[in-house]
Amino acid sequence: MPMNANFYALLEDKMRAAGDAPAFETSDGQILSYAKLIEDVGRSAAALRSLGVAPGDRVMAQVEKSIANVCLYLATLKIGAVFNPLNTAYTAAEIEYFISDATPKVIVVSPERQAEIETIIRASKVRAVQTMGSNGAGTFTDLAATQGPAGETVSRSADDLAALIYTSGTTGRSKGAMITHGNITSNAQVLHAYWGFRPGDVLLHALPIFHVHGLFIALHTSLLNTSRILWMPKFELAEFMRLLPRATVVMGVPTFYTRLLAEPSFGIDQCRNLRLAISGSAPLLAETHRDFTARTGLEILERYGMTEAGMITSNPYKGGTREPGTVGYPLPGVSVRIADAEGHALAAGEVGVLEVKGPNVFKGYWRNPEKTKEEFRTDGYFTTGDLATMAKDGRCTIVGRAKDLIITGGFNVYPKEIEGELNSLPGIGESAVVGVPHPDFGEGIIAVITPVPGQTPPNEADIIASLSKRLAKFKLPKRVFVAKDLPRNAMGKVQKNNLTAQYRETFKG
């Protein structure tokens, strides 16, 4: 019989062997053991089955971070279905699109959202809307509690889908990245070994779990290691500092580290057990890297990846140097090249688009073969859209983005989507949205609008209020400026670089 490539089957073996060892510990000191986690996943899996979810069906979850939410994820894998997590900040208008695209069998949402979603799904094939609140309680958890804990882990091949994760779309629409059991298994095993996971490791988990960083990278490595996971519903500085002394591993976005460094009482004492502090999802300033080392004696380990490919490169854990401002070397088994517009590898040091190939690279965009074809080379390399250089020894540095992406507080925002919403408001002629340096969020979003000739545009507060009905909070411009014209080049394209330069001081001091 071929081996079951279901990633949960691998985890389940490890977790069963761990028995009563602690899996999750919440801020109030409550502990869930690995044995109990297996049981809870079993009950959630039975609940999904009772709702009619079959292998290959999508389970959509727009749920706050909780252990029940983790069980829902693992249960989805266990029954061979496809987990489709959504950012909790998305509005009902945005979710409507995801439902029509992903056509989930079941949707789990917060109790406050239930009525809105039920209206949306009337015309769709969704079987059931279930609820799960921020503390994990809701109709789904109630249903799971009535189920038995045992049940088969469905056999999957490495090529079968495990998750459907939406990325921001350049055309304003998100694309669903199809991620297979083979993708997550290979990446989890490689990172577990590369970052030196060992018995006794304790992870401090403060990332969201609707994104690959918190859901896959942090959870998978630690569950494979059957580590104790100190579980925070979200990053909160004082609580993070309280728990940090017990952690050997943390994974964060650059904002975590800048906030820690802004706190005068943060230092070596909180990091006494820490062996690994990972940063990723957005560029870490070399200055933050150096300040952290000066304060704690530890070097942050920066790595680079994306939804479509999991982790791609990492600075070394052992041997070699962690060079500030670089993202390190391609991970074992992962091939990277820096290529020109035709996909030909460039010489060391030249700037081009980073392309990647390997078992970590996703299967393609959901129901979008044209886009998939566009982003893959004929020899199998995926074009990330990130501009990078590679040194002679293979060390990579990300220098910018070929696509027009803004990363604010770790979230990706494509200006085009916001511009579309702005242009539809009365009184606004044109708009351009750019990211400018922001001390806390890395980049802060600003919009520049022009009035419809002869009309007065709405004021800044009204514009932001209108957008907030349509767009998630993290996508809202923090400032809106009015200009007579937008700067354009000879081809009529808006020169966003000029706007970025003009407004780059917006969030300074």
Residues near ligand AMP, by CB under 6 A: 167, 212, 280-283, 302, 304-307, 327, 384, 386, 398, 401, 407, 412
Q: Which CB atom, from 175 or from 181, has the smaller least distance to ligand AMP?
A: 175
Residues 135 and 26: their CA atoms lie apart, in Å, by 11
Give the amino acid at 355.
Answer: E
Quote the tokens at residue 425: 């408001």
Residue 213 φ/ψ region, left for φ over 0, alpha for ψ in the -120 to 50 degree band, beta for the rest: alpha
Helices (H), 395-471: 415-423, 460-468
Q: How far is the CB of 212 from ligand AMP (least distance, A)?
A: 6
Least spacing, CB of residue 312 vs ligand AMP, in Å: 9
Shortest CB 380 distance to ligand AMP, Å: 19
Phi, psi of 278 (to 5 degrees): -95, 140
Nearer to ligand AMP, 160 or 386 (CB): 386
Query: What is the smallest separation between the CB atom of 301 and ligand AMP, expressed in angstroms?
Result: 10
Closer residue to ligand AMP in complex, CB, 127/401: 401
Helix, strand, coil % in the chain, rounded to nearest 5: 30, 25, 40
Cβ closest to ligand AMP, residue 104 vs residue 310: 310
User: Inter-axis angle of helices 7-18 and 181-194, to 10 degrees?
Assistant: 50
Q: How far is the CB of 391 from ligand AMP (least distance, A)?
A: 16
Rounded distance between C-alpha atoms, residue 401 and residue 423, angstroms: 25
CB atoms within 10 A of CB 404: 16
Q: Which residues contact 38 (CB under 8 A, 6 or more apart)?
A: 12, 15, 16, 149
Q: How far is the CB of 248 from ligand AMP (least distance, A)?
A: 22
Closest approach, Cβ 311 to ligand AMP, in A, equals 9
What's the token pair of residue 71? Answer: 């069980």
Q: Which is nearer to ligand AMP, 257 or 304 (CB)?
A: 304
Q: Which is nearer to ligand AMP, 301 or 448 (CB)?
A: 301
Do residues 308 and 349 touch, judged by C-beta distance below 8 A?
no
Closer by beta carbon to ligand AMP, 245 or else 439: 439
